[in-house]
Copies of this chain bind each other. A is one copy, B any other.
Amino acid sequence: MIKVALNGYGTIGKRVANAIMLQPDMKLIGIAKTSPNYEAFVAQKMGINIYVPQESVKSFDEAGIKVAGNIEDMVKEADIVVDATPNGVGAQYKELYQKFSKNAIFQGGEKANVADVSFSSLCNYNEAIGKKYIRVVSCNTTALLRTICTLNKLSKVEKVRATIVRRAADPKEVKKGPINALVPDPASVPSHHAKDVNTVLKDLDIITMAVIAPTTYMHMHLLNVTLKSQVSKEDVISQFLNTSRFLLVRGKSKVNSTAEIIEVARDLGRIRNDVPEVVIFEDSIYTKGNEVFLMYAVHQESIVVPENIDAIRASLDLASAEDSIKITNTSLNIGKGYLI
């Protein structure tokens, strides 16, 4: 059993922590958190060991949350650390992981040079095997890479032109916006997403533009992909239907929005209504010559969770890509086929 420590227990961290507890080959030794908010209370209720910076011990004590030790204690005890601290903070913690010679998984909010490799399970698992520091790319980049690498199996992807409509804030965030505007993010082109895709697919011709919209549910991507050869709409549908970590939405199910995707996830009893799969609107898949068009939704809170689990296995050389993806999917109930 691999001993995994989780540094950071926000939107991504708490989900990865839950996912680790569901793996047959991993043990969560604890999580690290800096402020005693409700997420810390939930972790305590679940019996998870909570480690805090030395200077936070007092505030946790006052809140009535039992502290297992400081973050250094946790890192020392681990075989590997998943860093889910806020953007840029992971790079500061890297020193600590190096001090104890621990492997670490970073998130997409860090610069690519924090790690030896940027990672996408369906694109470059093999490249990450044995790497001490791996960076799981961000939610939007994870979705783009899954999609591109899956289409690439049909026919070589030569060009990607993508529009990303981002959610404004996560459901729990009450101080973020916009709440009544569309905001180019940024107004300059390409957006950073294209560059981030290139950290994994180095030679791909990709341009992305992004805009923020006032919603919390999911991001939406509108893609135009040029392939080397002509493919049919049916080929594309069948390729996605047969690839795990994708779900298709049928027109006849009357799921016409991100809100209804989340509602189905709730109705199916998915914990936290998480949808780590890329959810493609089947009716949006369209082909013209060598071009493929499609629209899909990306659940920003959960999409990178399976990739974090795979990255742990790649870093410690615990399993092949195929085996790791299979174990991760089974343990997290990640499907393929139709959403409903």
Contact partner of A38 among B36, B37, B263, CB < 8 A? Answer: B263
Q: Does A182 contact B (CB under 8 A)?
A: no
Q: Hey, which chain B residues are within 8 Å of A64, CB to CB?
A: 252
Which one of A223-231, A236-244, A264-272 contacts B? Answer: A264-272
- Give the contact stretch, choosing among A168-176, A281-289, A305-313: A168-176
Quickly give the copy total for this chain: 2
Residue of B with least CB distance to A43: B267
Given A171-B262, A262-B171, A42:B267 Cβ within 8 A: yes
Which of A45, A180, A255, A260 counts the most B-chain CB atoms under 10 A from its CB?
A260
Minimal beta-carbon separation of A24 from chain B (angstroms)? 20
**In this assembly, does A259 line the interface, its C-beta being within 8 Å of a C-beta of chain B?**
yes
**How many A residues touch B, CB cutoff 8 Å?**
37
| Known contacts A45-B340, A63-B252, A269-B271; A172 and B260 CB within 8 A of each other | yes
Contact present for B174 and A260 (CB under 8 Å): yes
Nearest-CB distance from A118 to chain B (Å)?
Answer: 29
**Residue of B63, B173, B266, B268 touching A273 (CB-CB under 8 A):** B266
Chain B residues lying within 8 Å of A269, measured Cβ to Cβ, are 271-272
Asked if A39 is an interface residue, CB under 8 A from chain B, the answer is: yes
Bound complex: CA A161 to CA B272 (Å): 36
Known interface pairs A253-B38, A257-B174. Does A272 touch B267 (Cβ–Cβ under 8 Å)? yes
**CB–CB B266/A272 < 8 A:** yes
Pairwise interchain contact B340-A259, C-beta atoms closer than 8 A: no
Residues B259 and A172 in contact, CB atoms below 8 Å apart? yes
Nearest CB in chain B to that of A340: its residue: B41
Among residues 29 to 80 in chain A, which have CB atoms less than 8 Å away from a CB atom of chain B? 35-39, 41-42, 45, 62-64
Q: Cβ of A254 < 8 Å from any Cβ of B?
A: yes
Binding site for B on A (CB under 8 A): 14, 35-39, 41-42, 45, 62-64, 171-174, 179-180, 252-257, 259-260, 262-264, 266-269, 271-273, 340
Per the bound structure, the CA–CA distance linking A256 and B171 in Å amounts to 13
CB neighbours (8 Å) of A35 from chain B are: 254
Distance of A64 Cα from B254 Cα, bound (Å) = 13
Compute how far the CA of A275 lies from the CA of B273 in the bound complex, rounded to whole angstroms. Answer: 14
> Do residues B172 and A263 form an inter-chain contact, with CB atoms below 8 A?
yes
Whether A254 contacts B171 in the complex (CB less than 8 A), given A45-B340, A273-B266, comes out as no
Distance between A306 CB and nearest chain B CB, rounded to angstroms: 18
- A262 proximity list for chain B (CB < 8 A): 171-172
Contacts of A272 in B (CB 8 A): 266-267, 269, 273
CB-defined contacts of A263 to chain B, threshold 8 Å: 38, 171-172
Q: Is the CB of B180 within 8 A of A253?
A: no
Which B-chain residue is minimally distant from A14 (CB atoms)? B267
CA distance A174 to B179 in the complex (A): 16
Q: Is the CB of A37 within 8 A of B253?
A: yes
The answer on a CB contact under 8 Å between B273 and A38 is no
Question: Shortest distance in angstroms between A187's beta carbon and chain B's nearest beta carbon?
Answer: 23
